[in-house]
Amino acid sequence: SVPLAFFSGIGAGSKKGILFKSGASLEALHDIKCVAMDKTGTLTLGNFVVQDITAETGMDADTLLSITASAEAHSTHPIAVSIVTAAKEKGLSLVAPTALEEKAGMGIVATFEGKTVLCGNEKLMADQAITMPTQQTAIGSVVYVAVNGAYAGSIRVADTIKPEATATISALKNRGLTTAMMTGDNLQTAELTAQTLGLDDVRGNLLPTDKVDGLLELREKHGAILYIGDGINDAPVLAGADVGGAMGSGADAAIEVADVVFMTSDLSTVDNAIDIANKTHTIVR
């Protein structure tokens, strides 16, 4: 039978917008040693804004933006949404691709008007054998663009750290928990975010399967893991974590496999959830 205290714990959670899917998830949450989190949409708001556009000679910034937005128009990725928004704000017209492939953790390959357009990160460019200019240091995520096999320029987008994130990370650390970030974004942006928040461990440039490897490493090092994420790319690692936590604003696939759902997407409810789990444990004992 389910101890009565679990019902009260689940009830206390629901008052704060925390959905515990079972009593077992409350007990598992009490035992965690490390909180590992996705960056985009979990530690940050996931609202990217285009910062600057750098077009190669022979192409102007508006053309680069409209080509990229045409390729990104069908993607729900927050980076894609920001690029389409910027193009629409400038009144640029978009073209519907005749062929389209979204490569998870990398970007888009689209075909329209006799052009094959690639837009995504360094991994996509390397995967498609695009010769890139020498890398520059940039704050934010950079979307590189290539047209018909030739590098065409880049669009830099930036996201904002959630206002409650810093306080939540210190609350978790005060509980003696190790804090970590695992992201598909570039290592530079990952490290800057981790430094700002005071995270203990940071891993970037990760594909969905790399996040699972990272989880196993963190578990080996620190013990039971609460992993929190919001994307389709987080589903495998959420399923593998000792406790999987999903943001309410996240993808259905993430919410489905999670043990706990943070309905309001407010990071401070993560600390509330651990508090409820610890109090429930004391009562059950």
Torsion sign across C-alpha atoms 101, 102, 106, 111: positive
Catalytic residue, chosen from 38, 159, 185, 259, is 38
Q: Does 159 bind Mg ion (CB under 5 A)?
A: no
**Which tokens belong to 275?**
């508090």
For 72-105, b where at least 16 C-beta lie within 10 A, e where not — what string? Answer: bbebebbbbbbbbebbeeeebebbebeebebbeb
Among 25, 40, 269, 280, binds Mg ion (CB under 5 A): 40
Among 41, 120, 153, 214, binds Mg ion (CB under 5 A): 41
Q: Does 38 bind Mg ion (CB under 5 A)?
A: yes
Binding partner at 107 among ligand ADP, Mg ion, none, C-beta below 5 to 8 Å by kind: ligand ADP
Please say which residue, 75 or 272, places its beta carbon nearer to ligand ADP: 75
Q: What would the x/- binding string for ligand ADP be over residues 148 to 177, using CB under 6 A?
A: ------------------------------
CB of 30 to ligand ADP, least distance (A): 27
**Residues binding Mg ion: what is the number (CB under 5 A)?**
5
Q: What is the DSSP string of the chain?
A: ---HHHHHHHHHHHHTTEEES-HHHHHHHHT--EEEE-IIIIIB----EEEEEEEPTTS-HHHHHHHHHHHHTT--SHHHHHHHHHHHHTT------SEEEEETTTEEEEEETTEEEEEE-HHHHHHTT---PPP---SSEEEEEEETTEEEEEEEEE--B-TTHHHHHHHHHHTT-EEEEE-SS-HHHHHHHHHHHT-SEEE-S--HHHHHHHHHHHHHHHSSEEEEE-SGGGHHHHHHSSEEEEETTS-HHHHHH-SEEETT--THHHHHHHHHHHHHHHHH-
Among 25, 66, 70, 75, binds ligand ADP (CB under 6 A): 75
Q: Does 204 bind Mg ion (CB under 5 A)?
A: no
Among 12, 19, 29, 39, binds ligand ADP (CB under 6 A): 39
Q: Does 38 bind ligand ADP (CB under 6 A)?
A: yes
CB of 181 to ligand ADP, least distance (A): 9
Asked about 38 being catalytic, the answer comes back as yes
Among 231, 237, 245, 272, binds Mg ion (CB under 5 A): 231
Q: What would the x/- binding string for ligand ADP be over residues 78 to 97, using CB under 6 A?
A: -xx-----------------
Binding partner at 82 among ligand ADP, Mg ion, none, C-beta below 5 to 8 Å by kind: none
Contact residues toward ligand ADP (CB under 6 A) are 38-40, 72, 75, 77, 79-80, 105-108, 119-121, 141, 143, 183-185, 231, 233
Chain residues binding Mg ion by CB under 5 A are 38, 40-41, 230-231
The residues that are catalytic are 38
